[in-house]
Structure 1
Amino acid sequence: MRTSTLRESDVFGGGPVSAAVHALTGEVEPHGHDFLEVAVVGPGSGGHVTSRGERAVREGEVIVLRPGAWHGFTGCRGLTVANCCVSAGALRAELAVLHDIPALRHLLWTAPMAPGAHGVLVTRIDPAAAADAIEEIARLAAGPVTSGARIMGRLLTVLGTIADALPERPVTGASAPHPAVRATLAALELQPAHPWTLAELAGRVSLDPGHLGRLFRRHTGLPPLAYLARVRAERAAALLATTTLPAARVGAAVGWDDPTYFARRFRALAGLTPTEYRRRASGG
């Protein structure tokens, strides 16, 4: 099965958000992303392929893919899929505020970054709510919007329409992250290759390591070092797809100096070995 990688430089027109509504027929080859994608499924039929296998899609499904995750569609017959894509860099910068909204934190971070998810969340909302979300994505895709505030407003409308219809309630903290959690998230995102320990992270925010661990897990669903591993896997996926660096150097660049350990951790988090991921990312 061939896989390619969609890159921000090919999809985004210089802004932090890209959107489109597609009527799919036949096959959509498996492809990865170096950005975050939210796909809403409308009427039609087809199959959805991820690292966990193939399954039939249903109207109302919402598919969230973290950077580095891959998927594809098979046997599509008039299948409507609306895509709302968000720059990974923007999620770490001007759109990081989305992490403060519990429902969006669950949708975009906690659920797809959970152990065994391989960076993919598949859930389902009422088809009527999905139709509303598809309509909002179509509006977002309809024309150029240069105002950052207007882009944020339209993106929040899309994501809010989905989040309000989710059947599952967020299991992480219902409030904005504690300042110590916010500072720890920023440190891990800014320097994923640093050999962080829980003790060092706790010392930076003047908390007991156990207390920081509990606060962090309450708001993200993961312990700090497990969250770091997910961030490293996403950065490694981008390097594997967009550079010719040897896999061992990719691992070292994101903080995993031991090639064997890097291969094991990457496979556990992405569903493929680094070599397999690169081969599929190049369409081989």
Structure 2
Amino acid sequence: MFRSDGLPVWADRHELTADVAAHDHDFLEISLVTQGRALHIAADGDHPIRPGSAVVIPPNQWHAYGECEDLMVFDCFVAPELVHSTLSFLDAELPLMSAMHTSTLPLPQRVQLSPGELSAAIAELYSMSDTTAARRSRVQIVGHLLIYLDVLNRSWVADDSVRRRPRAPLHPAVSRAAKAMEDEPGHSWTLAELAALASTERTYLVRLFQRDLGVPPIAYLNRLREQVAARLLVQTDQPVARIGTQLGWEDAGYFARRFKAAYGLTPSAYRRRALEGQGWDHAPAAAESGSP
């Protein structure tokens, strides 16, 4: 997806005349709709997109397009090394970027631009895709990318008043426990084990998780497992039962029930619809149960 000049940013227009099956990339992708309509399909369900719709897709997160009608997408691709090194400061500056790093499995972020914002965004994308210059400047290209991200961020923040409130940093105990679960989602974590790892008392850890993440620790683990399962179902051909087992759900029936409660589909149906580029009728509900 990147040109031979070695620069870690590229932008290009694509006309999608047919549905696009589920796929993923190891780079950050930002898709801006300039014409037509479709459904953007990802782990959190299917969402209508139209001119002005922008979708920020984190690296290694699958997505697809369905019901494409005269769809024109202006894509921007950003190499992961640029995001993690040169642009690492953006997490502190742009809530849109920090929202993608709240867990090891961030979901796409969606923005709807006004006509004026859409024009401004397209101008920056054309600058990033300009091939008339003999040599594209890394500084200039990254500058255009920063302006583009700022346009998207301003619209994203204004879209929801809750997003205007700065997100407080996680309590160290929450960070330690959450990272442990994210590193080993298949481990049979107990509240006592997590509290000991975080050097705090169990009841207090539950209160901290509720305050900082909105769910207790075991519910966070269940949500994490469901997200990992969704990713493995789409990105691998592992048997469904094996996916459940490696995530700590030895009983295939229990795994299927938990997954359906979260995504509205059995694991097999979810895999089939994703790989066929189809959508589903609702966004998945977050699992709040404390049962692992």
**TM-score normalised to structure 2 length:** 0.65
Instruction: Give per-residue Cα distances to partners, 1:156-205, cap 9 Å, x unaligned.
Output: 66544422322214287623322223222321221111112333222212
Q: Is the counterpart of residue 266 in structure 1 residue 259 in structure 2?
A: yes
Q: Is the counterpart of residue 237 in structure 1 residue 230 in structure 2?
A: yes
Instruction: Give per-residue Cα distances to partners, 1:2-29, cap 9 Å, x unaligned.
Output: xxxxxxxxx789x9x7754333242232
Change (3 A) 1:163 1:236: same
Partner of 2:116: 128
Query: C-alpha displacement at 1:222, in angstroms?
Result: 4.0
Separation in 1, partners of 2:27, 2:211: 23
Q: Pick from 50, 71, 93: which aligns with 2:41?
A: 50
Query: C-alpha displacement at 1:100, in angstroms?
Result: 6.0
**Structure 2: unaligned runs, 5 residues or longer:** 278-292
Separation in 2, partners of 1:142, 1:234: 38
Partner of 2:154: 164
Instruction: Give per-residue Cα distances to partners, 1:47-67, cap 9 Å, x unaligned.
Output: 214375563x23332334565
Partner of 2:18: 27
State the SS of the aligned residue for 2:15. Answer: strand
Change (3 A) 1:152 1:41: closer
Partner of 1:59: 51
Q: Pick from 93, 96, 105: which aligns with 1:104?
A: 96
The structure whose Rg is larger is 2
CA RMSD of the aligned region, Å?
Answer: 4.5
Query: C-alpha displacement at 1:141, in angstroms?
Result: 6.7
**Structure 1: unaligned runs, 5 residues or longer:** 1-10
Residues 86-101 of structure 1 aligned to structure 2 (within 5 Å): none
Paired residue total: 262
State the SS of the aligned residue for 2:187. Answer: coil
Query: C-alpha displacement at 1:46, in angstroms?
Result: 1.3
Separation in 1, partners of 2:17, 2:114: 25
Contact 1:36 1:64 (8 Å CA) reproduced: no
Separation in 2, partners of 1:105, 1:218: 22
Contact 2:33 2:71 (8 Å CA) reproduced: no
Separation in 2, partners of 1:177, 1:203: 18
Amino acid at match of 1:128: G
**TM-score normalised to structure 1 length:** 0.67
Query: C-alpha displacement at 1:263, in angstroms?
Result: 1.5
Partner of 1:197: 190
Q: Pick from 177, 197, 205: which aligns with 1:212?
A: 205
Aligned residues with identical type, % of pairs: 29
